[in-house]
């Protein structure tokens, strides 16, 4: 319940916005409403009793404090307006062994919320898998986007700090290393990462990475103008140069390649 309340507070803070975010009274009212709307689910934990965003909206509108109505009004566009995508129960089978969340086509106003909702969904999955004695692998492409927003960045750090205790293995993937390194939270993430796979880096990024990861000048040469499949592996205290010449004539390579010329060629074939 505490985790769920923390997530809803982060969501409302993202929606309400402002320099100072939510005020103390607003946080108190939201927390009260979260406990109220989950009461029915705790009494009968069926999927049909899981509350949705509209339940929170109704509970906030019913509060005596004007702060509740203020937060509800900010939520209205996501409940009854044109951005009500997340005001529904999912129609996707999230119990599959492999689940892929794609937020590419979400608009500008929904993308931030989408990232936070997915992080919460992953937490739920990790919690359930932990009880079942299963490990959960979580891969985040374009990871720098999660670190741009204060709420999703804070959530990401929590994931890096606590996932291993819950049987979770998070992996961040990004080409925009400079954006990643500009985040205040990146030190916490690096300190809690046991494995780093680094390919060719731009000059500015190399210097920052060298400082963050204690890379020598000689080791940096392996990510300076390096060819495809060449770079450095960091595992614990070991830094290891590698060359991985993946065969290009395999079916697996055709599936994985993102080179436009090769993708076009495969479609034409």
pLDDT, one tens digit for every residue, the chain (269 residues): 888 898 899 889 888 876 677 889 999 999 999 999 999 999 998 888 889 999 999 999 999 999 999 999 999 999 999 899 889 888 878 888 899 988 888 888 888 888 888 888 898 899 989 999 999 999 999 898 888 888 788 888 888 988 888 999 999 998 878 778 888 888 888 888 889 999 998 888 888 888 878 888 889 899 999 888 899 999 988 899 999 988 988 999 988 888 888 888 877 76
The pLDDT of residue 178 is 79
Q: Are 251 and 237 in contact (CB under 8 A)?
A: no
| Closest C-alpha among 193, 191, 180, 188 to residue 235 | 193
According to DSSP H, which parts of the chain are helical? 2-16, 24-43, 53-61, 66-79, 108-131, 150-162, 177-181, 186-191, 203-213, 217-220, 251-256, 260-268
The pLDDT of residue 26 is 93
If you count them, how many residues does the chain have?
A: 269
Q: Are 125 and 163 in contact (CB under 8 A)?
A: no
The pLDDT of residue 18 is 67
Residue 185 DSSP class: T
| Closest C-alpha among 74, 85, 76, 144 to residue 110 | 85
| Closest C-alpha among 79, 82, 71, 62 to residue 17 | 71
Q: What sign results for the dihedral spanned by CA atoms 140, 145, 147, 150? A: negative
Print burial letters for 33-54: b (CB count within 10 Å at least 16), e (below 16). bbebbbeeeeeeeeeeeebebb
CA angle 36, 42, 44 (to 5 degrees): 120
The pLDDT of residue 89 is 84
Kindly list the strands in the beta sheet with 230-235, ordered across the sheet, starting from the edge strand earlier in the chain: 195-198, 230-235, 238-243
Q: Are 155 and 119 in contact (CB under 8 A)?
A: yes
- SS3 state of residue 32: helix
- SS3 state of residue 140: strand
| Distance, CA of 17 to CA of 13 (rounded, Å) | 6
| Closest C-alpha among 71, 83, 54, 59 to residue 14 | 71
| Closest C-alpha among 177, 164, 159, 181 to residue 115 | 159
């Amino acid at each position: 319940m505490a985790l769920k309340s923390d997530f809803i507070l982060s969501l409302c803070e993202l929606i309400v916005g402002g320099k100072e975010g939510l005020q103390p009274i607003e946080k108190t009212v939201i927390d009260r409403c979260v406990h109220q709307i989950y009461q029915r689910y705790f009494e009968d934990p069926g999927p049909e009793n899981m509350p949705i965003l509209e339940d929170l909206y109704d509970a906030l509108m019913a509060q005596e404090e004007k702060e509740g109505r203020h937060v509800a009004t900010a939520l209205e566009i996501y409940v009854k307006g044109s951005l009500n995508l997340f005001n529904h129960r999912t129609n996707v089978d999230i119990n599959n062994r492999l689940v892929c969340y794609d937020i590419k086509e979400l608009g500008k106003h929904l993308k931030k919320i989408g990232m936070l909702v997915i992080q919460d969904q992953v937490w739920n999955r990790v919690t359930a898998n932990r009880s079942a004695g299963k490990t959960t692998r979580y891969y985040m492409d374009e990871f720098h986007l999660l670190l741009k927003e204060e709420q999703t960045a804070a959530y990401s750090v929590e994931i890096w700090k606590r996932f291993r205790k819950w049987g979770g293995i998070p992996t961040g993937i990004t080409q925009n290393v400079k954006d990643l390194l500009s985040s205040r939270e990146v030190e916490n993430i690096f300190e809690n990462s046991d494995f780093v796979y680094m390919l060719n880096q731009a000059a500015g990024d190399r210097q920052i990475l060298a400082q963050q990861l204690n890379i020598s000048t000689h080791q940096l040469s392996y990510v300076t103008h390096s060819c495809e499949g060449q770079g450095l592996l960091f595992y614990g205290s070991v830094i290891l140069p590698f060359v991985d010449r993946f065969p290009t004539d395999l079916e697996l390579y055709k599936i994985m390649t993102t080179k436009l010329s090769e993708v076009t060629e495969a479609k034409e074939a």
